[in-house]
Each structure stands twice: as C-alpha cells, then as structure tokens.
Structure 1
Amino acid sequence: MSRRISAVILLGALLFCAACTNKKVNNPLANVGSKQPDKVLFDRAMDAMKHNRFDVARMTLQTLINTYPDSEFIARAKLAVGDSWYAEGGTAALAQAEIEYKDFETFFPNMPEAAEAQLKIANIHYQEMEKPDRDYTHAKRAEDEYRALILQYPDSKLVPEAKQRLMEVQEVLGEREFEIGRFYFLRQSYPAAIARLASLVERYPLYSGADEALYTLGQSYEGEVTILRSKPFNETQKAQAIEAYTRRAADAYSKILTRYPVMNRAEDAKKRLEALHRPVPTATQAAIAQNKAEEDSRHTTGMVTHVIRGFQKHPDVARASKVGEPPLVDP
C-alpha cells in the first residue's frame, strides 16, 4: 500500500515538473518571426501603450534597444520610453519621463523630435505649476524649459506653442512678484516693495497687471519722499534724495502712459504726473495699438469657473496675453 502511495506522489511530482518546464515565459522576443523583428517589437510596444499597459510597453522597447542597437527604430523607441512615463502620469512617473526626454536630447540633439522632447519636459513642469501664492518651483522650471526650447530649436514648428505657454507661466510668476511687492507696499516697507516691483516690470512686460505694478512702484517712491520729509536730515542731501525719488516716481507713471496707455491706471498716472508738476507724455499710435491688441487677447474667467478654480491646484492663466513676444532672458 505504501509503495502505491509513493508511486502516486512521484508521478504527481514528475507531472508538476513537466508542467513547469513547458510553461511559457513572457519574453518580448517570443514569436518574432518577421524579417523586421525590431519593427514587430516597436509595434507591440505601441499597441501596449495604446491599451495603457505601460510596463509591458517599456519592457518591449528596452528589449528592442538592447537587442537591435543599430535599428532605425532606436530613436523612436527611446522617445517612446519617455512617452510611456509621461502618459502614465503621477509625480514619480513624470519625473522619470523628464529623465528619459533629457537622455533623448543628449543622444539625438539634431532630430526634429528633440524639440518635442524639450516641449514635453516643459509641459511636465507646466502641469505641476501651482498658484502664485504657492510654491513656484515648477513655474520657474517651466519658464526655463520653454525658453530653452525657443532658443535651442528656433526653427521648430513647436515654437509658437512654447511661446504661448511661456506667456502663461510668466503671467503666474508676474502675479507672484506683484503680490509680494504689494504686501511690502501696504506695510510701508518701501525699499522692499520697490525692489520687487521694479524687477517685475522689467522681467514681465506682458503681465496683465503691469500698469498696477508701475502705479504701485510710483506710490512707493512717493512714500519714500514722505518719510524723508519727516526726518531730520541735511537739507541739501534731503533735497537731492527727494528729487531722485520724485523723478523715479514720475518715470514709473510715465511708463504707464507710453507703454500701457489703454489700461486702467493710465488716467491715475496722468493725475499723479500733474500733481508732481512733471511732463505728461503722449503714447504713440503704435504703442496704443500694441497695448490694445494685448488687452483684447486676454480672457476673463466667469464667476462659476472662478469658484471652481479656487479648489484646484493649477493657476488660472486666462489673463495671460495671447500676442507679443515673451522675454527669453532676464534683464
């Protein structure tokens, strides 16, 4: 009886081993009988990506890259690895996608797809960009990456899209700088306000609140004059300092009238110049047309959309200009 039981156990073990031996291995090269096995692998990877099987797609693409290093599909395969991470989404996957796209640019800098890789790197940070009063790390990275695309690939068909996204990013960065400058102004910390606002109007001339920033800058200079008048000081030096601050205030108000003549603060700027007994400049027709085109291109957010945006991480970029050339370098 015991011999029969032993025989049955042994037979079962042999059958189990045979089953394990005959089990198919999930090998990307299996059943690749084409004269173009690299193309078969690439097509399989694309099909896997189409069905959101990103791990399978990456394994297949990596097999292609390692097995056929001279394949005409190598460049497309390396780009597709980045695309698989990009499509998968999520913070970790997007970070990996950026690494893959950077590698692609390093190995294939002269291919048309290099500009596409650079655009996707910028778009990663654009998607992660937060509101002006939050962490601005991704906004700054997006600005840097869009600028890099425009400067490195000036003939790419993707440049117009990059420029528009760059204007949207700079709108967010401009709003951040304005809010900080306004914070200092309201607390009469005029030197800090001046530093922020003066930098803002130089770096982001297409910012939708440029006239408000310039007006607040002028008010900050006038605030410094008020403080100077109340302090005991050498009269000659005091007079020189007052004249310097007044001149800078007038310059800020004048710039509203010459660069942003159709915006809300134009009339207020004119009144301040008259009160300071300074010349009131007149904008050229070209400046009026330019500023009008910028203002007409901006969108306003409806009340419902504005409420919904309040619960979202991503900033509202509707007020960004749709015309003009965004600055590509900091002044």
Structure 2
Amino acid sequence: MTRLILILLTITLLAGCASNKDNANRLDNAEAASLYEAADRAADRNDWQTAISELESLQAQYPFGLYATQAQLDIIHAYYQAGEVASTVAAAERFRRINPRHDAVPYSWYMQGLALEEKNRGPVKDWVGVDATLRDPVPRRQAFDAYTTLVEDFPDSDYTDMARRRLDDLYESGGRFQLSVARFYADRQAWVAAARRAITVIEAFEDTPSVEPAMDLLIEAYQALELNDLAEGVMAARNRQPTADDRDVPETPALYEEETTEVPPAPTSEGPSGGSGGLGSPTGGGL
C-alpha cells in the first residue's frame, strides 16, 4: 500500500513538472511571437532600426525557439536595409555557421555580396555623382568572392542568376577601376606604371568597354617611352578590334539603369508558420 502511494505521488509530481514545463514553453513562444510581430510591423513601415532591435532581443532571449532561425534570416535583410554593412556580413556569416546545411545558405551569400557592394556607396556620394567603382576595390573583390561561392556551390539556387548578373557588373567595374589607375599614372607622366595598368585592363578584363581606352593609353605610354615598335603593334591590334557597331556589347543591367538593387526578402525557414508566410516571406512582404 505504501509503495502504491509513493508511485502515485511520483506520477503526480512528474505530471506537474511536465505541465509547468509546457506552460513555460507556451509562455516563451508567446513572448517570442510578440517580439517577432513587433519587428514585422516595424519593417512594414520601413523602421529598420526598431525591427533590428526587436529581432536582436528575440535572438538573445529565445535563441532556440520556434522563431530563432527565421529571426537570423530576417536580421540579415534588416541590417542591409539600414545600411549597416559590417552587421549584414556578420549576420550572414553567423547564419551559415549555425545552419551550414540550411536551404537559405545561398540567400546569405547573396545578401553578403550586396552589402559589400554597397560599402562604397551612400546617398551623398550618389547625389554628387561619385563613381563608386573608383573607390576602394577591396569590398568589391570580397563581393565578387561571395557571388562566386554562390554560383559555384549552389548552381540551382533561386539567387544564382542574380549573382551572375552582379558578377558581370563587378567584372566591368574592375576594368574601369584599373583604367582609372592607369590614367592617374599617365596624368603624372609615370608612363611605365601607366603601361602596366593598361596591360592589366587589356589582359584581365577582356571584352569590357575599358579595353579600347586602355589600348589608346598604352599606345600613348609607349610613344612617351619612345618604344615606337611596341606602340605600332598595339595600334595595329587596336585597329583590328571590332567597331562599336559590330561588337556584341551587353546592355547595362536594368537594376543599374534604374539605380536600384535587387534585394530579395529573407526566405522563410521551417519555423513558426510551417515554412510559409512570416516576416521574410517572398509573398508576405515585411523584412
């Protein structure tokens, strides 16, 4: 009889503990949902700082809850929209570190590339017409690496075609940067350095619009150095180049014609809404 009473007491205590745990989990989920919805509302009104604050709180308080993975994705997008390049890159890298096999890994690479591209941009620079391609080339090189990883490792991703278009533009901008450096040296009559940079454009950025002006500059540099045979050789090669009417010149991507950038919403994770809807839904707006 005593043994039976002890068994019944144990069952009662375990049931009570389980009930308390379930209640605590429900409370945690409700609080996490409240933070997530607050971030969603802030995103709807483009209040990215508030959205970031709510998502950071959600991740700090409920790192393993139903909303954790989706918050990690959404905050990448929120940081980007807020113009916080370093935070965007860090959030993308963190997402991959925590979720190395997640379907949204290609998205994190694409957003990392976009953020790095934007590092040399800004409303003031755009307003005064500063060519971002003539500034620090390191972020663009890092963006190129991010897009290349996406294209090579995830060829069937929804983001791969967009990454290829960004790679094409970065390739052209790399040629423009090298050409600007060559002109910098030419303006100072540093003809050897100018010639080397012009050759870099011709060899490394083949089929870009920078090649013809680079050949003209190389001719000028060789003539200034009294290397007339080399200048004539470049001139002959220059004359063999197809004219602008004959060359298959790719059109400027529409996103640059409109001075906009393709910024996809954060994809949904398997989480609070069963993989559909949510703050980062492609059809649901929000972040």
TM-score range, shorter chain: 0.5 to 0.7
Q: Which runs of 4+ in 1 moved over 6 A?
A: none
Residue deviations 1:144-194 (CA, integer Å, cap 9, x gap): 322232233222221221122222233333222112212323444322112
CA contact (8 A) 2:62 2:68 kept: yes
Superposed, which structure 2 residues align to 1:282-301 within 5 Å?
288=246, 291-294=247-250, 297-298=251-252
Deviations 1:70-108 (A, max 9, x none): x4x543232123233233x13xx3321211111112222
Task: Name 1:78's counterpart in structure 2.
Answer: 72
Q: How does 1:91-102 map to 2 (within 5 A)?
A: 93-102=84-93
1:182 to 1:84, Cα distance in 2 relative to 1, 3 A: closer
Distance in 1 separating the partners of 2:160 and 2:54: 33
Deviations 1:223-253 (A, max 9, x none): 4344xxxxxxxxxxxxxxx76x36xx52x44
* Unaligned stretches of 5+ residues in structure 2: 1-22, 122-130, 258-287
Q: How does 1:1-331 map to 2 (within 5 A)?
A: 33=26, 40=33, 44=37, 45-51=39-45, 52=47, 53-54=50-51, 55-66=53-64, 68=65, 71=66, 73-87=67-81, 89-90=82-83, 93-130=84-121, 131=131, 132-226=133-227, 245=230, 250=233, 252-253=234-235, 255-256=237-238, 260-263=241-244, 288=246, 291-294=247-250, 297-298=251-252
**1:236 maps to which residue?**
none
Larger radius of gyration: 1
Q: In the superposition, relative to structure 1, how do residues 253 and 158 fare at CA in structure 2: closer, same or farther (>3 Å)?
A: farther
CA contact (8 A) 2:32 2:58 kept: no
Name the aligned partner's letter for residue 142 of structure 2: R
Q: Are the structure 2 counterparts of residues 129 and 168 from structure 1 closer, same or farther at C-alpha, using a change threshold of 3 Å?
A: farther
Q: Report the Cα distance in structure 2 between the residues aligned to 1:104 and 1:35, rounded to whole angstroms.
A: 22
- Matches of 1:76 and 1:257 in 2, distance apart? 57
2:144·2:167 contact (CA, 8 Å) conserved in 1? yes
Kindly state the Cα deviation for residue 115 of structure 1 after the two structures are TM-superposed.
Answer: 0.9
Give the Cα–Cα distance (whole angstroms) in 2 for the partners of residues 104 and 292 of structure 1: 41
Q: Could you tell me how far apart the structure 2 residues matched to 1:106 and 1:35 are?
A: 25
Note the C-alpha offset of 1:119: 0.8
In the alignment, the residues of structure 1 paired with residue 44 and residue 101 of structure 2 have an alpha-carbon distance, to the nearest angstrom, of: 28
Check whether the contact 1:42–1:64 (CA below 8 A) recurs between aligned residues.
no
Whole-angstrom CA distance in 2 between matches of 1:42 and 1:154: 35
Structure 2 CA distance for partners of 1:202 and 1:107, relative to 1, 3 Å:
farther
The letter of the residue matching 2:79 is W
Q: Helix, strand or coil: the match of 1:135?
A: coil
- Give the letter for the 1:60 counterpart: L
**Quick one: percent identity of the two aligned structures?**
16
Aligned residue pairs, count: 219
Instruction: State the AA in 1 paired with 2:58.
Output: T
Contact 1:57–1:84, Cα closer than 8 Å, also in 2: no
Counterpart Cα distance in 2 of 1:171 and 1:317 = 13
Gaps of 5+ in 1: 1-29, 227-241, 265-287, 300-315, 319-331
Q: Which has the higher contact order (CA 8 A, sep 6+)?
A: 2
- TM-score in terms of structure 2 length: 0.62
Q: Which moved more, 1:102-111 or 1:131-140?
A: 131-140
Instruction: Show the counterpart of 1:5.
Output: none
Distance 2:243 2:156 in 1: 34
Q: Give the TM-score taking structure 1 as reference length.
A: 0.55
For 1:140 and 1:35, locate their aligned partners in 2 and report how far apart those are by CA, in whole Å.
Answer: 43
Q: Structure 1 CA distance, aligned partners of 2:155 and 2:248?
A: 27
In 1, Cα distance between equivalents of 2:31 and 2:163: 33
C-alpha spacing 1:109/1:116, structure 2 compared with 1 (3 Å): same
